[in-house]
Structure 1
Amino acid sequence: MTPTMELTATWLTVCRVTDLEPGWGEVALIGDRQVALVRLDEEEVYAADHHDPHTGAPVMARGIVGSRGDRPTIASPLHKEVYDLGTGECFTDATLALRTHRTRIVGGMIEVEFDA
């Protein structure tokens, strides 16, 4: 019988919701990871890796926030690849994907989930 490993996740408190401007990205240093946080409104915050999947440059928090239909997006400020903020799917290049992280708001604070 092969033992199974249970993957667990950790929720980390990052900042207050009101620390972020709606419609803009900000970068947060969480441990040794840079995470782009994007607040759309009081109840909707997204988190993704800050490094551009195409170039590796730490720029995603400076990306252009928008949408494709009802899907919130961020476009890389370097080559303008457009990513779904919820899934990380790249709309402009199927070979690329942006790593995203689940978020939640607890008591006015943004928490980001990371794999253990």
Structure 2
Amino acid sequence: MVSGSALDEEWQPVCRLVELEVDRGVTALVHGQAIAIFRTPDDSVYALGNHDPFGRAAAGGIAKGIVGRRGEVPFVASPAHKHGFDLRTGRCLDDTHVAVPVYEVKVVEGVVMIGHRRVNAA
């Protein structure tokens, strides 16, 4: 990787894939934003904004939520009110008018890389 390149600025290495627990969230500061990162049993990795739109700051962010599936939809339940958020799109499964930001993710040679916020993720 060439230091200072546009690629470095777009993709930020966060951790190794093996360091992420399956179905548990962690928080990382990426591009100045608190990001919740999740690894599912199939080794897919998702990144959402760590703000719970239904909760209070004291309840913690989305990263503290419970990860599960509704049919084919991987989701995280907000820790405060248990609203489910689609890990792929950020859309609330219980209130389609609400969503959290979704960030690009890729795994390169075992390293989880977070990119910029997706536009029109849903």
Structure with the higher fraction of residues in strand conformation:
1
Do both proteins adopt the same fold according to a TM-score greater than 0.5, normalized to the shorter chain?
yes
**Structure 1 gap segments, 5+ residues each:** 1-8
**Structure 2 gap segments, 5+ residues each:** 1-8, 118-122
Q: Distance in 2 between matches of 1:46 and 1:94?
A: 19
TM-score with structure 2 setting the length: 0.79
Q: Across the two proteins, how many residue pairs are aligned to each other?
A: 107
Residue 105 of structure 1 is matched in structure 2 by 107
Q: Which amino acid aligns with 1:52?
A: D
Q: Distance in 2 between matches of 1:32 and 1:103?
A: 16
CA root-mean-square deviation = 1.7
Assess if the C-alpha contact under 8 Å between 2:64 and 2:79 holds in 1.
yes
**Over 3 Å off, 4+ runs:** none
Q: Looking at CA atoms only, which structure, 1 or 2, has the larger radius of gyration?
A: 1
Assess if the C-alpha contact under 8 Å between 1:47 and 1:100 holds in 2.
yes
Structure with the higher fraction of residues in helix conformation:
2
Higher relative contact order (CA 8 A, sep 6+): 1
Measured after TM superposition, the shift of residue 43 of structure 1 is 3.2
Measured after TM superposition, the shift of residue 47 of structure 1 is 0.4
Assess if the C-alpha contact under 8 Å between 2:75 and 2:86 holds in 1.
yes
Q: Distance in 2 between matches of 1:81 and 1:30?
A: 24
